[in-house]
Amino acid sequence: MPSSQPIWIHGASLGEVRVGGFFAEALQRHGQAVIASAMTEPGYWLCREVHREDTACFRLPFDLPGPVGRALSHCRPRALILVETEWWPNLILGAAACDVPVFVINGRVSQRAYRRYRLLSRYWRALLSGVEFFYMRSESDAQRLVSLGVDHRRVAATGLLKVLPSPDASTDPSSIPLVSEHGVPLVWVAGCTRPGEEPTVLSAFRSLQSEFPNLRLWLAPRHPDRFDEVSRLVEQAGYRPLRWSQCQKESPDRTCAPVLIIDQIGILAGLYRHAQVAFVGGSLKPFGGHNPLEPALAGAMVFFGPHMDEQHDAAALVLQAGLAQRVYDAPSLARAVADELRSSRSREQRQAQSDELRDRLLRVRDDVADDLLTRLEALPTRGRQQARGHSAA
């Protein structure tokens, strides 16, 4: 643990942990010590990667008064930052009891979640009274939170806070056979695919091969337990799948495999940097979608389906920036990819649009960090909860 009181940042799993690491950079530039936690096991291991080496990373204690109290006593945090909706009751109540102010960054209350929250509005109003301030992703998220009974003076719609790929984050694909009789290939990365989507992507890919014989598909299923299943789907589509893990252990021949299965967690963001086009999974079927900003900011043209409910704000950003297009099925996906590959627009032009979006997101992060630290400095060291008249009782 740092010698000075650290700021504790907590995120649930991969997406929230990445945001936490991204936000930590802004705090550390102000000289703040940071510690970080995650709830899931993949989130914990990623936590150790995205934070600086001197950052203490740990698993979130069980949400019981004893474990939470011991963690707070041991860490002695100056503040607790919760990413998105990691609103664990004993963690929030325990922080209030220890006089540790709680902040929520990149907060969201989706329409679907809002319907559930309203059923227990008195509970949520009482619990969330223990949060000092909410930095919400959008005006609609802020309005839903206020309608649950949270004081509007403790809520602001600050914009989307998403992790940006760093210039050195690219994963080196040197062990992948990238030379074929057709020359250096065009790379299409289909990331975070979910059940029922791989056959659609594979169908679109097959229809494009005659026009683009050097097109290669890098397929990254969302969940590791589906790697074998997706491998069978690739075989059923008529391809011999190559796995990323095989490339790291063996020296396959120099014939570029048409379909590569990304069977390693945590490298997808880097692989997007080698893609001309990208498909974001969880969007053709009603799974809520996944983050379209990573491929867009890496310089790829992005395609996703109609079901981006959980990523509505990010989807709107990349669509507005001209870095994405919505598709609906295999034919529309194939047409969209073909149009982009035929386009005269250079990767440099697309990257310029990405850089403009990157600057906008960096301003959001830095503005939130500056405001949070200003509010933290203004708080008295004792009796915060009593002074604000909050009680979770």
For residue range 306-353, list pLDDT tens digits in order. 999 888 888 998 999 899 999 999 999 999 999 999 987 777 788 888
255 has a pLDDT exceeding 50: no
pLDDT the model gives residue 110: 82
Tell me the CA distances in angstroms from 182 to 179, 202, 254, 255, one per residue in order: 8, 20, 12, 10
Q: Which is more confident, 241 or 331?
A: 331
pLDDT the model gives residue 165: 59
388 has a pLDDT exceeding 70: no
Average pLDDT, the chain: 88
CB 165 within 8 A of CB 272: yes
Q: Alpha-carbon torsion 254, 258, 259, 265, what sign?
A: positive
Tell me the CA distances in angstroms from 67 to 6, 12, 146, 224, 279, one per residue in order: 19, 17, 31, 30, 42
Structure tokens at 231: 């491998």
pLDDT the model gives residue 164: 67
pLDDT the model gives residue 254: 40
**How far is it, in rounded angstroms, from Cα 178 to Cα 357?**
30
Q: Alpha-carbon torsion 130, 132, 137, 142, what sign?
A: positive
Residues 74-107 have pLDDT tens digits of 999 999 999 999 999 999 999 999 999 999 999 9
Tell me the CA distances in angstroms from 286 to 64, 114, 307, 324, one per residue in order: 34, 18, 5, 19
Q: What's the angle, vertex CA 51, arms to CA 71 and CA 304, rounded to 5? A: 110
- Per-position DSSP letters for 28-43, written without gaps between them: HHTT--EEEEESSHHH
**Least trusted range by pLDDT, from 136-140, 168-172, 260-264, 312-316:** 168-172
Arithmetic mean of pLDDT, 144-161: 93
Arithmetic mean of pLDDT, 52-79: 95
CB 122 within 8 A of CB 93: no
pLDDT the model gives residue 246: 80
Arithmetic mean of pLDDT, 191-218: 95
3 has a pLDDT exceeding 80: no
How many other C-beta atoms lie within 10 A of the C-beta of residue 353?
17
Q: Which is more confident, 219 or 387?
A: 219
pLDDT the model gives residue 384: 45
Q: What pTM value is reported for the model? A: 0.75
Residues 7-37 have pLDDT tens digits of 999 999 888 998 999 999 999 999 999 999 9
Q: Please state, for a pLDDT cut of 90, what percent of the chain lies above it.
A: 65
**Least trusted range by pLDDT, from 156-160, 231-235, 250-254:** 250-254
Label residue 390 by pLDDT band (50, 70, 90): very low
166 has a pLDDT exceeding 70: no
Q: Give the position of tokens 């006089």.
A: 99
Structure tokens at 182: 């057709």
